[in-house]
Amino acid sequence: MLLLILNNFCAMDTEGIEIRIKTPVGDMDSPVDFPSLLSFNDLLVAIRDVMPETTITAFEYEDEVGDRITVRSDEELKAMLSYYCNNVSEQRLNGVLPEPLQIFPRGTCACVRVFSGLSKSSAELKKILTNGQINAQDIQYQEQLGHGNGGTVYKAYHLLGMRVLAVKVIPLDITVELQKQIMSELEILYKCDSPYIITFYSAFFVENRISICTEFMDGGSLDVYRRIPEHVLGRIAVAVVKGLTYLWSLKILHRGK
């Protein structure tokens, strides 16, 4: 196995490789002439050069089934390079032009310009993030509640506040259109103060992801109840109308399906 890895690195050093750094503002390609001499810290420096406003602590690459593998050390870096070289060798044998090695930086963003497609996002989002009451280290995740294109929602417990939360975790390597939706959702939650709208507690960046913390609705979704008494449906309808009326007073239009 060691001989195979050494042979792989020798082949890479002969031809060099291209590393593609995936950032929220676009892909950045970086050529590496001698991959066997590349260290974890060298690659971190290269990433920080293209993402100066983010504190990068690690990065990820995708394996053959699309799972993300985190790299935090020289040993894990060598394993990544060996894996990539094996793929390149197979692709060349099959007459396929190899793609650059794609890596996904992980870190804490100190600035909100990751929402690059929005002209007013920086000031608004900065205001929202700096007004938060919750930090990532104070949260214990308990179970996954749902998953979609915009992110994953978890049931979590806030240790300091001693309360259950719903936390929506959204990766930042998403389309500008989804970024706009997230920004709109944050702005609405931040503005709202009504017993008929879920309570917004906080939002924060951790490792290239944004987390939105809101009130946990322990009753779940209405579709889990087979039959709902008429008097209960009446109360639900009144609460929905009052919530929509409140949103309309803030000039927020709800277009639910």
From the list 19, 61, 63, 25, the residue with the least C-alpha distance to 42 is 19
Residue scoring higher pLDDT (4 or 179): 179
Rounded Cα gap, residues 200 and 215, in angstroms:
6
Q: What percent of the chain has pLDDT over 90?
A: 5
Per-residue pLDDT tens over the stretch 57-90? 788 888 887 788 888 888 888 888 888 888 888 8
Residues in binding site: 168
Rounded Cα gap, residues 108 and 105, in angstroms:
10
From the list 202, 222, 223, the residue with the least C-alpha distance to 213 is 202
Rounded Cα gap, residues 39 and 59, in angstroms:
13
DSSP string, 56-100: EEEEEEE-TTS-EEEE-SHHHHHHHHHHHHHHHHHHHHTTPPPPP
State the pLDDT confidence band at 100, using cuts at 50, 70 and 90.
confident
Quote the pLDDT of residue 256: 54
CB 154 within 8 A of CB 169: yes
Per-residue pLDDT tens over the stretch 201-248? 888 777 667 888 889 988 877 878 878 889 989 999 999 999 899 888
Quote the pLDDT of residue 18: 84
Owner of token pair 């294109």: 149
Per-residue pLDDT tens over the stretch 7-33? 444 455 456 788 888 876 667 888 887
Per-residue pLDDT tens over the stretch 121-154? 445 555 555 455 677 778 888 888 888 666 889 9
Quote the pLDDT of residue 118: 41
Quote the pLDDT of residue 54: 65
Tell the burial category of 51 from Cβ atoms under 10 Å away from its Cβ (0-12, 13-18, 19+).
Answer: buried
Rounded Cα gap, residues 137 and 211, in angstroms:
12
Chain mean position to CA 152? 9
Say if residue 5's pLDDT is above 80: no
From the list 166, 168, 151, the residue with the least C-alpha distance to 211 is 168
State the pLDDT confidence band at 180, using cuts at 50, 70 and 90.
confident
Residues in binding site for ATP: 168
Which residues does residue 213 pair with via DSSP β-bridges, in sequence order? 167, 202
Quote the pLDDT of residue 228: 86
- Both tokens assigned to 146: 């749902």
CB 200 within 8 A of CB 252: no
Quote the pLDDT of residue 25: 62
